Amino acid sequence: EAQVTQNPRYLITVTGKKLTVTCSQNMNHEYMSWYRQDPGLGLRQIYYSMNVEVTDKGDVPEGYKVSRKEKRNFPLILESPSPNQTSLYFCASSFGLATSTDTQYFGPGTRLTVL
Amino acid sequence: AQSVTQLDSHVSVSEGTPVLLRCNYSSSYSPSLFWYVQHPNKGLQLLLKYTSAATLVKGINGFEAEFKKSETSFHLTKPSAHMSDAAEYFCVVSDSGSARQLTFGSGTQLTVLP
């Protein structure tokens, strides 16, 4: 089944404790992206990657890192989480590099709470 | 620069009555427009998309949207609401010249009353 998977689905952690949220897709998509969803703000893009070893900042990249060593995986790293990073996170992927017509496929989300 | 405004944060309709979710956009290029739906505790699912072909776009589950360039609108409609339509809906715009792809609206929560 074609899908985007994220782990963990739920995570409660404390300020400053490094964490990684994994994202994997099995559709051979070149484009992958991370979003955070906060009430009343919709989804905001954190980072995106147009191919292996190619990443760039989205609208809200502060406090986050990403890597794209393999085509299928795009982990989101919080080196020193803070309470303002408490949010619902979505990973997404699509075939296109930068074509606006491509449909993005979303993972199920990771709900992160930073105490 | 691109942006999207969903004009209603909450919409309530009775089952069997029409649904209208409003979306206005701003785009420097020829935009692509999408509607996504998010059911409680679920990820986002694509309902429909406009990509400069027919201005009236039909999607899944009986939804459709009409692209109106003169009004910079892309409203989502359904003739008859079903209880299973209760969810949050996001209007999304993407400029043809943007490498960041998608800009999301703030969402409209649809409640369907029995």
What is the block-wise mean pLDDT of chain A (115 residues), using blocks of 10 residues?
91 96 94 91 90 91 97 97 96 72 84 96
Cβ pair B58, B77 in contact under 8 A? no
The CA distance from B108 to the nearest CA of chain A, in Å, is 9
Look at residue A68 in the predicted model and tell me its pLDDT.
97
Look at residue B79 in the predicted model and tell me its pLDDT.
97
Percent of chain B at pLDDT > 90 equals 66
Per-residue exposure over A78-94, b if at least 16 CB sit within 10 Å of its own CB, e if not: beebeeebbbbbbbbbb
List of residues 6+ apart from B35 with CB closer than 8 A = B21, B23, B46, B47, B48, B49, B59, B63, B65, B74, B76, B89, B90, B91, B92
Whole-number Å distance between alpha carbons of A79 and A86: 14
Look at residue B101 in the predicted model and tell me its pLDDT.
63
Cross-chain Cβ contact B102/A104 below 8 Å:
yes
Residues of B within an 8 Å Cβ radius of A = 9, 31-32, 34, 36, 42-46, 49, 51, 90, 94-96, 98-102, 104-107
Whole-number Å distance between alpha carbons of B84 and B86: 5
Look at residue A111 in the predicted model and tell me its pLDDT.
95
List pLDDT tens digits, range B3-48. 899 999 999 999 999 999 999 999 877 788 899 999 987 888 989 9
Distances (CA, A) of A16 to A6, A19, A37, A115, B42: 22, 9, 21, 10, 28
Whole-number Å distance between alpha carbons of A4 and A54: 19
Look at residue A16 in the predicted model and tell me its pLDDT.
96
- Would you say residue B52 has pLDDT above 80? no
- Would you say residue B108 has pLDDT above 60? yes
Residues of A in contact with B32 (CB under 8 A): 100-101
- Would you say residue B100 has pLDDT above 60? no
Cross-chain Cβ contact A100/B31 below 8 Å:
yes
Look at residue B99 in the predicted model and tell me its pLDDT.
52
Look at residue B16 in the predicted model and tell me its pLDDT.
97
Look at residue B41 in the predicted model and tell me its pLDDT.
76
Nearest-by-CA chain A residue for B9: A40
Whole-number Å distance between alpha carbons of A108 and B32: 24
Our measurement of the distance from residue B41's CA atom to the centroid of its chain's CA atoms, rounded to an integer in Å, reads 19
User: Which of A101 and B105 is assigned the larger pLDDT?
Assistant: B105
Cβ pair B75, B66 in contact under 8 A? yes
Cβ pair A25, A31 in contact under 8 A? no
- Strand, coil or helix: A83: helix
pLDDT band for position B81 (cuts 50, 70, 90): very high
The CA distance from A13 to the nearest CA of chain B, in Å, is 20
Mean residue pLDDT across chain B: 89
List pLDDT tens digits, range A37-47. 998 888 899 99
Look at residue B96 in the predicted model and tell me its pLDDT.
58
pLDDT band for position B94 (cuts 50, 70, 90): confident
